[in-house]
A and B are shown apart, each in its own frame.
Chain A
Amino acid sequence: MLSNKEYVAIMQLHKSADERKLRKVVSEFVGRIYQKPPVRSSVKRVLRIKEVYSIEILEIEYPYVLMWISCQHGTYVRKLIHDIGDVLGVGAHMRELRRVKTGPFKEDKTLVTLHQLSEALYVYRELKDDSLLRKIILPIEYAVSHLPKVAVLDGAVEALTHGADLAVPGVSMIHEGIRKGDTVAIFTLKGELVAIGQALMHSEQVIEASRGIAIKVKRVIMPRGVYPKRWRSGQRK
């Protein structure tokens, strides 16, 4: 999932360090940083630029430092902490890590444990009551709720599920501020997710233009056949 992440992490310092210096060094790791993925990682080990949006020091109790980190997807927090330790000159490693936000999902009332899921399934299967399970399984639309959105006319839906790109005349409403190249979620006017694509125009252009491709479809979510086919076929009778 290519979205921003937030973590709460415990850094363990290998020697004590001056608090003012610690705060200063930590603040130097906010912004665009160079990072080489660790030896055990799932990506190619070349130097990459990643953006750290913020690091808040929540608590210091030597040798532990509790931090809240907000960063771009693909940032290795273990490495970030190791590097902070190096620059500080005392060495450090990550003692514990918890992701607290990824894309739209955070630690709110939608967060459930495996136990809660298993209990809800039991109530559904044995007692035929789906109320608990319905609260746990959210409609797929929530997974893209953090993206800019566009809603299309009923007549444009079926073509999208067949892989067609979204043309300007099919747009009913669009979020403001979409730039060319942005990832956009395409919805029906009922709020159903149809597809995800990449904007080929700015929002304002989509409003003003009368033709052209607004969004290039990258991934279709809705199955075919939900909405009626409205496009003209190439063959004339």
Chain B
Amino acid sequence: MEITKKGIEFLQKLDMFGDVKRRWIVRKEAETSSKHGKLPFERNINELLDYGVINLDKPPGPTSHEVVAWIKKLLNIRKAGHGGTLVPVHLPR
């Protein structure tokens, strides 16, 4: 089915972005149903705001904490965090 193919292509795209050069081994060939879930790149803006990440170029000066606070205000969201100065925003739930 088309959606499984697209999902697996997305996983390979992630591998490339993350510089992962491992091969995939198939244990059980399967299809994923289009009835539930959604391809990550088909999420709308609100879904991205819930489950998204920004590769932010933090300006020197303000701390990561301060920048996260600005971004929360800017995006009008409750939860945001950072995983190091190059990846400040990661917004679970």
Bound form: Cα–Cα A176–B30 in Å: 18
Verify B15–A149 contact, CB threshold 8 A. Answer: yes
Q: How far is the CB of A209 from chain B (nearest CB, A)?
A: 9
Q: How far is the CB of B44 from chain A (nearest CB, A)?
A: 8
Specify which chain B residues have a CB less than 8 angstroms from the CB of A117 in the assembled complex. Answer: 54, 56, 71, 74
For B1, the closest partner residue in chain A by CB is A189
Q: Select the residue from A1, A142, A221 with max chain B CB neighbours within 10 A.
A: A142
Verify A142–B53 contact, CB threshold 8 A. Answer: yes
Bound form: Cα–Cα A121–B74 in Å: 8
Verify B74–A113 contact, CB threshold 8 A. Answer: no
Verify B54–A112 contact, CB threshold 8 A. Answer: yes
Bound form: Cα–Cα A165–B13 in Å: 26
Verify A176–B74 contact, CB threshold 8 A. Answer: no
Specify which chain A residues have a CB less than 8 angstroms from the CB of B38 in the assembled complex. Answer: 190, 192
Verify B14–A207 contact, CB threshold 8 A. Answer: no
Count CB-based A-B contacts (< 8 Å).
202
Verify A104–B25 contact, CB threshold 8 A. Answer: no
Specify which chain A residues have a CB less than 8 angstroms from the CB of B29 in the assembled complex. Answer: 172
For B20, the closest partner residue in chain A by CB is A146
Verify A138–B59 contact, CB threshold 8 A. Answer: no
Specify which chain A residues have a CB less than 8 angstroms from the CB of B39 in the assembled complex. Answer: 190-192
B87 at the interface (CB under 8 A from A): yes
Chain B 1-42 per-residue mask, 1 if CB under 8 angstroms from chain A, else 0 = 001101110110011011110111111111111001111110
Verify B55–A137 contact, CB threshold 8 A. Answer: no
Specify which chain A residues have a CB less than 8 angstroms from the CB of B70 in the assembled complex. Answer: 114
B43 at the interface (CB under 8 A from A): yes
The B47-93 residues at the A interface (CB cut-off 8 A) are: 48-49, 51-57, 59, 67, 70-71, 74-75, 83-87, 90-93
Verify B45–A175 contact, CB threshold 8 A. Answer: no
Q: How many residues of A contact B (CB 8 A)?
A: 67
For B27, the closest partner residue in chain A by CB is A171
Verify A111–B7 contact, CB threshold 8 A. Answer: no
Specify which chain A residues have a CB less than 8 angstroms from the CB of B67 in the assembled complex. Answer: 114
Verify A191–B45 contact, CB threshold 8 A. Answer: no
Verify B18–A139 contact, CB threshold 8 A. Answer: no
Verify A153–B28 contact, CB threshold 8 A. Answer: yes
Query: Which one of A56-64, A83-91, A128-136 is at the B interface?
Result: A128-136
Verify B52–A137 contact, CB threshold 8 A. Answer: yes
Specify which chain B residues have a CB less than 8 angstroms from the CB of A169 in the assembled complex. Answer: 28
Given contacts A99-B86, A175-B24, 19 further A-B contacts (CB under 8 A): A102-B85, A107-B86, A114-B56, A139-B52, A140-B51, A145-B15, A145-B20, A146-B19, A148-B22, A149-B15, A153-B30, A169-B28, A173-B25, A173-B27, A174-B25, A190-B32, A191-B6, A203-B25, A227-B37
The 8 residue pairs across chains A and B that have the minimum distance between CB atoms: A145-B18, A1-B83, A191-B10, A146-B18, A189-B32, A190-B7, A139-B40, A102-B84
